[in-house]
């Protein structure tokens, strides 16, 4: 049975004492986004993720950003991962693997994705000190890895992310989000030649 277009949607609401998050995704969209997390740079990154993956993405999040953006950013990534897992269903008919190499001016990032059911993240190549940069006044560079970890673990996917070049902290993060978007686009896209689950085990 092949993945049915128009039915691959996920919706997750996550509420804690630290944040309140709603995420809705449609894997068969056109990249339409409606993003508001109260962390402006994160809004920019999630908008790029939706646009370049062709995943329709709605995110509404609020939280204790007066303390730190960490909780809101993390909980949004968790909800996104869970919504992605729901939308993928049994993963029938998808390409499963995706690979993208994306430049942004001087920055270059490569993302490789396996919709494997086995969560894993390998994240390498960011220049020394990137994790300490405060981008847009709210988003700390270390959050990039944490977002990728949270998505991988809650979606049940394997992500390898490599930063191959970069100088500007904004560009380094944005290239990674765009690379992830393009890799996801390839991995979740239905392949008309795939019969059933794309695994020799018969399950993902």
Find the range with the poorest average confidence among 2-6, 17-21, 45-49.
Answer: 2-6
- Based on C-alpha coordinates, what's the Rg of the chain? 16
Cβ-Cβ contacts under 8 Å for 201 (sequence gap 6 or more)? none
Does 3 fall in a domain? no
Does 148 fall in a domain? yes
Does 71 fall in a domain? yes
Banded model confidence at residue 201, pLDDT cuts 50, 70, 90: confident
Q: What's the number of domains the chain is made of?
A: 1
Does 129 fall in a domain? yes
Does 199 fall in a domain? no
* pLDDT score at 3: 40
Question: How far is 127 from 143, CA to CA, in rounded Å?
Answer: 15
* pLDDT score at 200: 87
Contact (CB, 8 A) for 162 and 148: no
Give the chain's mean pLDDT.
95
Tell me the average pLDDT across 181-191: 97
Q: Which two tokens stand for residue 178?
A: 């765009």
Instruction: Indicate which CATH number applies to the domain containing 35.
Output: 3.30.230.40
Does 194 fall in a domain? no
Does 40 fall in a domain? yes
CA-closest candidate to residue 97, choices 112, 81, 117: 112
pLDDT at 107 over 80: yes
* pLDDT score at 6: 57
Tell me the average pLDDT across 36-63: 98
Q: Which two tokens stand for residue 57?
A: 């993405």
Question: How far is 202 from 180, CA to CA, in rounded Å?
Answer: 26
Does 195 fall in a domain? no
pLDDT at 2 over 70: no
Question: How far is 58 from 3, CA to CA, in rounded Å?
Answer: 22
In which domain, by residue range, is 34 found? 9-188
Residue tagged 């390498």 (tokens): 124
DSSP label at 7? -
* pLDDT score at 57: 98
């Amino acid at each position: 049975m092949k993945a049915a277009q128009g039915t691959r949607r996920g919706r997750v609401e996550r509420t804690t004492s630290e944040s309140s998050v709603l995420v809705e995704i449609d894997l068969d969209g056109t990249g339409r986004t409606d993003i508001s997390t109260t962390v402006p740079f994160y809004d920019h990154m999630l908008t790029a993720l939706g646009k370049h993956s062709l995943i329709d993405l709605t995110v509404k999040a609020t939280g204790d950003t007066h303390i730190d953006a960490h909780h809101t950013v993390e909980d949004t990534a968790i909800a996104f991962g869970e919504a992605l897992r729901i939308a993928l269903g049994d993963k029938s008919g998808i390409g499963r693997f995706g690979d993208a190499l994306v430049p942004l001016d001087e920055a270059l990032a490569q993302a490789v994705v396996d919709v494997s059911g086995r969560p894993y993240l390998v994240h390498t190549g960011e220049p020394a000190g990137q994790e300490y940069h405060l981008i847009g006044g709210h988003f700390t560079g270390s959050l990039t890895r944490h977002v990728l970890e949270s998505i991988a673990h809650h979606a049940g996917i394997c992500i390898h992310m490599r930063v191959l070049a970069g100088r500007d902290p904004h560009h380094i993060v944005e290239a990674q989000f765009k690379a992830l978007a393009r890799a996801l686009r390839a991995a979740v896209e239905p392949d008309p030649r795939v019969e059933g689950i794309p695994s020799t085990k018969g399950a993902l």
